């Protein structure tokens, strides 16, 4: 038996705004940051559990404070008891009535719960000697549904329906795992399309994306319609007719405006329209989706919880679900969202980029392929080529595909030197 003996927290901020990496129509100058935690035990096995919430700068200290406030739920606890019942741990934190008031199940406190839950998953995977995706894909259907809270979902997905989805995918798990290990998981790249880049950089990065084997790129839009048309033309002329181009408006539009704007971009061939309007607006997304069909609407990086995901799927407001590793309350809630998406037949293409999101979401997509939806068709993981060097097991993307990770853990572990160097305040 071992105990959790400490939760170390760190306010880590990278000064990305200096180079306009990550710049879009809503976020002109993000400083990619992580409210980071490390759980240590007295097991003496050298394993720690790492987790974080991705933010874009100011307020990262508040996010750290929220994580710290959860220390009493883990520090001093029996580590095996926690790790053996992560479904129970999730419920205890998410349904703590006093903490719940601060959301409920959304925003700073909900994301803090997610970071702690994910740190425990990281520890569990390390103890098992498995990358998280393999750990999850090795659980039985019953073990998987025990991780999920079906409260507020039953009008769209029951526990029994979830079990059936998982059971249907079970017989061919080994085949798909072998395929994944051989072929990798499809990726697309957002690196060319940040709004702050000039035309030359846009064209150069588009060429590089094609040369690197990507079959889809993403371009940020939404600030200026004529500029968007001009930039999309450059992108299309550069990548040719066969590479898919998705556009991402980062919530800039009103409902009617989105429909008009997309009509102006559609002639260039648009793979999906991402975050056309406010991420809470289920009905608005559904109206846009109806108007721009067959171009699908993509959203998810700001989807607060599984109840919002349920509604987006029920209303037809999402055609590509972009779940995020640190927006909701951890792996457990992401599994609920994967199951909901499978029920509605909507592909999941996780949001990544940021700090460490690529490292984390790949595990969710690969678990989905092996054990939930059972397919990688129409699915790909976002890839952005920055800040990977700060992680203990950086993603490997080759020929436009994620190589399935083999290093034990969830991918969240950052290098100690990076945590120290970019600790805020104190960056150069």
Question: Which tokens hold the place of 69?
Answer: 């406030």
CA distance 139 to 147: 11
Cα 212 from chain centre: 23
Binding region for a second copy (CB under 8 A) out of 42-50, 119-127, 182-190, 305-313: 305-313
CA distance 223 to 293: 23
The smaller minimum CB distance to a second copy, of residues 61 and 80, is found at: 61
Binding of residue 63 to a second copy (CB under 8 A): yes
- Interacting positions 28-47 with a second copy (CB under 8 A): 28-31
Least CB distance from residue 112 to a second copy, whole Å? 8
Kindly tell me which residue out of 49, 186, 284, 411 binds a second copy, with binding defined by CB under 8 A. Answer: 284
Least CB distance from residue 116 to a second copy, whole Å? 13
Binding of residue 103 to a second copy (CB under 8 A): yes
Binding region for a second copy (CB under 8 A) out of 81-89, 122-130, 298-306, 382-390: 298-306
CA distance 116 to 52: 8
Is 106 annotated in the active site?
no
Kindly tell me which residue out of 1, 18, 98, 425 binds a second copy, with binding defined by CB under 8 A. Answer: 98
Question: Interface mask (CB under 8 A) for a second copy, residues 139-158, using x and -?
Answer: ------------xx-xx---
Catalytic-role residue among 110, 126, 218, 220 = 220
- Interacting positions 327-356 with a second copy (CB under 8 A): none
Ramachandran angles phi, psi of 13, nearest 5° = -135, 130
Question: Which tokens hold the place of 245?
Answer: 């181009």
Binding of residue 222 to a second copy (CB under 8 A): no
Q: Are strands 216-220 and 244-248 parallel, antiparallel or unpaired?
A: parallel
Binding of residue 1 to a second copy (CB under 8 A): no
CA distance 150 to 156: 10
CA distance 256 to 222: 13
Kindly tell me which residue out of 114, 222, 279, 408 binds a second copy, with binding defined by CB under 8 A. Answer: 279
Long-range Cβ contacts of 58-65 (<8 Å, 24+ apart)? 59/108, 60/11, 60/12, 60/13, 60/33, 60/34, 60/35, 60/424, 61/11, 61/424, 62/108, 63/35, 63/108, 63/111, 63/112, 64/9, 64/10, 64/11, 64/35, 64/36
Is 343 annotated in the active site?
no
The smaller minimum CB distance to a second copy, of residues 87 and 316, is found at: 316
Q: How many chain residues bind a second copy (CB under 8 A)?
A: 60
Kindly tell me which residue out of 19, 45, 62, 406 binds a second copy, with binding defined by CB under 8 A. Answer: 62
What residues contact residue 224 under an 8 Å CB cut-off, 6+ apart?
none
Please, how many CA atoms are within 13 Å of residue 422, restricted to the half-sphere of its CB? 25
Kindly tell me which residue out of 5, 15, 27, 87 binds a second copy, with binding defined by CB under 8 A. Answer: 27
Catalytic-role residue among 47, 106, 126, 351 = 351
Binding of residue 120 to a second copy (CB under 8 A): no
Binding region for a second copy (CB under 8 A) out of 103-111, 131-139, 341-349, 372-380: 103-111
Task: Please give the order of strands across the beta sheet that includes 4-13.
Answer: 4-13, 33-41, 48-55
Least CB distance from residue 252 to a second copy, whole Å? 10
Residues in the chain: 428
287 contacts 258 by C-beta, under 8 angstroms: no
Kindly tell me which residue out of 2, 20, 61, 163 binds a second copy, with binding defined by CB under 8 A. Answer: 61
- DSSP letter (8 states) at residue 78: B
Q: Is 135 left (phi over 0), alpha (psi -120 to 50) or beta?
A: alpha
What residues contact residue 124 under an 8 Å CB cut-off, 6+ apart?
49, 83, 86, 135
Kindly tell me which residue out of 208, 278, 388, 424 binds a second copy, with binding defined by CB under 8 A. Answer: 278
The smaller minimum CB distance to a second copy, of residues 337 and 370, is found at: 337
Question: Interface mask (CB under 8 A) for a second copy, residues 237-276, using x and -?
Answer: --------------x--xxx--------------------
Kindly tell me which residue out of 1, 44, 46, 97 binds a second copy, with binding defined by CB under 8 A. Answer: 97
State the catalytic residues.
220, 351
- Enumerate binding residues for a second copy (CB under 8 A): 26-31, 55-59, 61-63, 65-66, 69, 96-112, 151-152, 154-155, 251, 254-256, 277-284, 287, 302, 304-305, 307-308, 310-311, 314-315
């Amino acid at each position: 038996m071992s105990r959790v003996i400490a939760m170390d927290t760190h306010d880590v901020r990278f000064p990305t705004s200096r180079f306009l990496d990550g710049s879009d129509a809503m976020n002109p100058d993000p400083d990619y940051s992580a409210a980071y935690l490390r759980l240590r035990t007295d097991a003496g096995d050298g394993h720690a559990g790492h987790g974080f919430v991705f933010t874009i700068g100011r307020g990262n200290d508040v996010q750290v404070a929220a994580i710290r406030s959860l220390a009493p739920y883990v520090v001093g606890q029996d580590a095996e008891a926690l790790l053996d019942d992560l479904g129970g741990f999730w419920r205890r934190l998410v349904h703590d009535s006093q903490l719940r008031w601060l959301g409920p199940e959304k925003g700073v406190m909900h994301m803090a719960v997610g970071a702690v839950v994910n740190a425990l998953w990281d520890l569990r995977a390390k103890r098992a000697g498995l990358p998280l995706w393999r750990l999850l894909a090795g659980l039985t259907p019953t073990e998987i549904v025990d991780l999920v809270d079906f409260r507020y979902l039953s009008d769209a997905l029951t526990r029994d329906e979830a079990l059936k989805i998982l059971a249907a995918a079970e017989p061919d798990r080994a085949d798909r795992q072998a395929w994944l290990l051989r072929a990798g998981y499809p990726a697309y790249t957002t690196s060319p399309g940040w709004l702050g880049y000039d035309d030359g950089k846009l064209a150069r990065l588009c060429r590089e994306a094609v040369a690197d084997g990507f079959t889809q790129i993403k371009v940020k839009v939404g600030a200026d319609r004529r500029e968007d048309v001009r930039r999309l033309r450059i992108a299309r002329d550069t990548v040719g007719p066969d590479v898919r181009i998705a556009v991402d408006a980062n919530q800039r539009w009103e409902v009617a405006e989105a429909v008009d704007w997309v009509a102006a971009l559609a002639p260039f061939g648009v793979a999906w329209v991402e975050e056309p309007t406010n991420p809470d607006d289920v009905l608005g997304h559904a109206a846009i989706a109806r108007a721009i069909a067959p171009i699908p609407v993509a959203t998810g990086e700001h989807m607060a919880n599984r109840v919002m995901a349920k509604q987006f799927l029920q209303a037809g407001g999402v055609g590509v679900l972009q779940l995020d590793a640190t927006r909701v309350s951890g792996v457990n809630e992401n599994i609920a969202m994967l199951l909901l998406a499978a029920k509605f037949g909507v592909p999941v293409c996780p949001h990544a980029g940021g700090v460490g999101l690529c490292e984390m979401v790949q595990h969710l997509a690969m678990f989905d392929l092996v054990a939930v939806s059972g397919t990688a068709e129409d699915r790909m993981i976002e890839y952005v080529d920055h800040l990977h060097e700060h992680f203990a097991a950086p993603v490997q993307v080759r020929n436009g595909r994620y190589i399935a990770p083999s290093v034990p853990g969830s991918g969240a572990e950052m290098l100690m030197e990076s945590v120290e160097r970019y600790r805020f305040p104190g960056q150069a």
